[in-house]
Amino acid sequence: MDFHVVIPARYASSRLPGKPLAEIGGKPMIQHVYQRAQCSGARTVVVATDDRRIEAAVKAFGGTVVMTSEQHVSGTDRLQEVAVRLAFAPQAIVVNVQGDEPLIPPEVIDQVAALLAACSDASVATLSEPIDRAEDFFDPAIVKVVSTAGGRALYFSRAPVPWPRDAFAADKSRLPAGLNAQRHIGIYAYRVALLNRFVTWPVAPLEASESLEQLRVISHGETIAVAPAVAAVPGGIDTPADLQRLRQLLAQ
């Protein structure tokens, strides 16, 4: 199976400015992500950025970097520019690996690419993992996904879905057995042809309401394949506290 990895990386971050360059164990965060992606089966691994400081850091550790427009409003737009500039074929598979996930398991990168390759009806693939705690289920920062029995996404939401009406009428402090609530893991595999369509579409009403880009894909009738992740995926680094915990973990 042949696929490419693109790692969008922006310097600006409201909660952690300069996040891709944050030092972790003697390396910038973006280097940890890049090296994880290199351990996957990807033919190409490239960082996409609009910041010269990130470009310089990637070149310093021998990585491949593409400078992209400063006008992009999303990582998906940045991905599409890279696909065009590197002349990826319309049916080529591109995996978007977030630049703030320095512990991303390489096997899930391979998994999401293989999932899309195996699903001819889908133009996007992504992963999920079980939600076991009621507090996570009610947390709007944790995106939930509801899928068909065949592993096709029906909806993504920040709301607690599916809603177990009868069980929650009695007790909302714990999740009922058999609910199978799923957290969406923000790793995507795209066919380049889908990326080319995506950038021509306006923001969809559902996307605007939930602040979830993947709802633009569903709103336009495209199919997203979903599968349980084969390995646990630690959350991204969003705050100084997240960064400090990771530094302590690696030091141990």
Per-residue pLDDT at 235: 76
Tokens representing residue 68 in the block:
């992209």
Considering its fold, how many domains does the chain have in total? Answer: 1
Q: Which residue has the tokens 């609530």?
A: 181
pLDDT digits (tens, 9 = 90+) for 87-136: 999 999 999 999 889 999 999 999 999 999 999 999 999 999 999 999 99
Average pLDDT rounded to a whole number, residues 221-250: 87
* Residue 96 near residue 62, CB atoms below 8 Å: no
Distance, in Å, from the CA atom of 13 to the CA atom of 88, rounded to the nearest integer, reads 29
Structure tokens at 161: 């879905």
Angle, alpha carbons 114-116-121 (nearest 5°): 140
> So what's the pLDDT on residue 127?
98
Which alpha helices (H) appear in the chain, and where do they start and end?
29-38, 52-60, 75-85, 106-118, 134-137, 165-170, 192-198, 205-210, 214-219, 240-251
Query: In this structure, is residue 192 part of a structural domain?
Result: yes
Report the mean per-residue pLDDT for the chain.
93
Determine, yes or no, domain membership for 248.
no
**Structural domain contains residue 177:** yes
Check whether 72 has a pLDDT greater than 90.
no
d(CA 131, CA 174): 11
Q: Residue 11: what pLDDT?
A: 84
Confidence of residue 238 (pLDDT cuts 50, 70, 90): confident
Question: In 3-state terms, what secondary structure has residue 8?
Answer: strand
Q: Is the pLDDT of residue 249 over 80?
A: no
Q: What's the pLDDT score for residue 14? A: 64
Q: How many contiguous H segments (helices) and E segments (strands) does the chain have?
A: 10, 11
Torsion angles phi and psi, residue 141, rounded to 5: -75, -15
Give the per-residue pLDDT at 24.
86
pLDDT at 25: 85
Does residue 133 fall inside a structural domain? yes
CATH classification at residue 54: 3.90.550.10
Asked if residue 92 belongs to a domain, the reply is yes
Domain interval for residue 83: 4-234
> Does residue 153 surpass a pLDDT of 80?
yes
Tell which residue, 98, 118, 252, has the closest CA to residue 188: 98
Distance CA 62, CA 65 (A): 9
Give the three-class secondary structure for 245: helix
pLDDT of 184 = 97
Q: What is the mean pLDDT of residues 31-42?
A: 97
CB 68 within 8 A of CB 78: yes
Answer yes or no: is 251 within a domain: no
Least confident of 70-79, 91-100, 137-146, 172-181: 70-79
Share of the chain above pLDDT 90, in %: 78
126 part of a folded domain? yes
Q: What is the pLDDT of residue 16?
A: 74
Whether 244 maps to a domain, the answer reads no
Give the Cα separation of 50 and 72 in Å (integer): 9
Contact call for residues 195 and 128 (beta carbons, < 8 A): no
